[in-house]
Structure 1
């Protein structure tokens, strides 16, 4: 029994130490980063599209699937992406690399902590 408990603690510790940076983001800071970096084109309010689709409830959603947004590129619709934190992180780091031929005119957010904060924010607005 003691061996099992020690093994379990070791596994949990390893998991926490290996947690991706977005797992530790600050949603309050992310709201500010979102407003500055994303807010001109995207909303986090449900059903409020701008130049880009609303990002409310983005996690678990198939890319290019917001039914009342018509501005998707064919590349985005055909990407096969289902948005999860790791996919959002990769996309906002280098949008044109993740979806070549996409319409998003954004060079990317290089700051890993800022990306983690944005992801935490988006997770909080579902």
Structure 2
């Protein structure tokens, strides 16, 4: 009952079904995207009489954002950092402890010896402004740093974290 001819028919029908599927896909793409994938010009443009004007975003100075920073929100954002850093003095983890980091010299956490040296070439002490620039893009601010964190894109989050870190040591 199950011979070579039956197996040949099954394989042939599967190949035919696959061929029909591929040809159908090709025909549908040709029908719905005749010139490629949106590469053509728009057929009709409605003139509204106005030119498109890009919104100008007024950038608020960091000092202003830092002055209105929320320490409680900073503690929430610090949870992202807590996988590698601790907020208690002398408690190093993968990264150095961050207790008293605001105003502290770079590469100077007691008991932490795994500094890459990239930070001390860029900045001497952790001011709020240098912390802001570093937390925005650590790899871009200090190329060669061993910190693998991508950064905090929102200026409010950075200001809140810096205010939280600054509040730890009064």
TM-score tier after normalising by the smaller chain length: 0.7 to 0.9
Aligned to 1:85: 128
Aligned to 2:64: 20
Are residue 59 (structure 1) and residue 130 (structure 2) matched? no
- 1:23 Cα shift? 2.1
Structure showing greater relative contact order (alpha-carbon pairs closer than 8 Å, 6 or more residues apart): 1
Aligned to 2:84: 41
Aligned to 2:119: 76
Aligned residues: 109
Q: Deviations over 1:84-107 (max 9, x none)?
A: 111111100011121111000011
Task: Report the TM-score when normalising by structure 1.
Answer: 0.80
Structure with higher Rg: it is 2
What are the ranges of 5 or more consecutive residues in structure 2 without an aligned counterpart? 1-59
CA distance in 2: counterparts of 1:106 and 1:72, whole angstroms: 15
What are the ranges of 5 or more consecutive residues in structure 1 without an aligned counterpart? 1-16
- Cα RMSD between the aligned structures? 1.6
- 1:22 Cα shift? 1.9
Are residue 120 (structure 1) and residue 167 (structure 2) matched? no
